Amino acid sequence: MENGIPALMIAAILMLSTVFIARGGFIGMDAVGQSLKQQETTIGQQNRTGLTVTGTSIDGTGSNLTITVRNDGQTPVSQWDEMDIVLQYFGEAGGRFDKWIPYTAGPLGADTWTTGSFANDIFEPGILNTGESVDLLVRVNPAVAAGSTNWAIIGTEKGVTVQTYFNGP
């Protein structure tokens, strides 16, 4: 009897330890499963997103760039503040500039961008659905050099990118 009570205590501790370890493993596997499910959703949205640059133009000052983008995919683009525009351009003084340009919902300032007019915006105004186009208005400082060849990369909130070249004024 003197060995029975300590043996029962040790067995109970071992059983409780096993239960807690198993519970921790189940919680961890559930977290991994949820993460994989989210990743699968994101990859599916990326595969259904397709953007095409249909035109670029720059004004005579070299400061205001317009990039026209058409949605050829199935996923709408709407989170403008989570999109990125990166420019690589040559300035008037001859230097090369590599810039990330942040979105602004207000009036354009130096080194910001916003959405302009939408074409074929029939369904959900302000959201770039399939077959619709939007003008992305970009203002840079210093201005783009005349006759230079420059590069723009546009990235959506889903991680899909499209790039284009544009010429200075």
Residues 110-134, mean pLDDT to the nearest whole number: 92
Average pLDDT over residues 71-90: 93
What's the mean pLDDT when you consider all of the chain?
Answer: 90
Give CA angle at 162 (59, 92), nearest 5°: 35
Amino acid in the structure at residue 26 = F
Query: What pLDDT, on a 0 to 100 scale, did the predictor assign at position 128?
Result: 93
For residue 67, the model assigns a pLDDT of 98
Q: Which carries the bigger pLDDT value, residue 50 or residue 103?
A: 103
CATH says 51-167 is which class? mainly beta
Burial of 133 (0-12, 13-18, 19+ CB in 10 A): middle
pLDDT score for 46: 60
**So what's the pLDDT on residue 157?**
86
Q: What tokens were used for 128?
A: 């770039």
CA distance 98 to 162: 17
Q: Is the pLDDT of residue 61 over 90?
A: yes
How many C-alpha atoms does 169 have within 13 Å on its Cβ side? 13
Peptide bond into 125 cis (omega under 30): no
Q: Are 160 and 46 in contact (CB under 8 A)?
A: yes
| Residue ranges per structural domain of the chain | 1-47, 51-167
Question: Predicted confidence band at 135 (pLDDT cuts at 50, 70, 90)?
Answer: very high
pLDDT at 45 over 70: no
Q: Give the pLDDT band of residue 136 (cuts 50, 70, 90).
A: very high
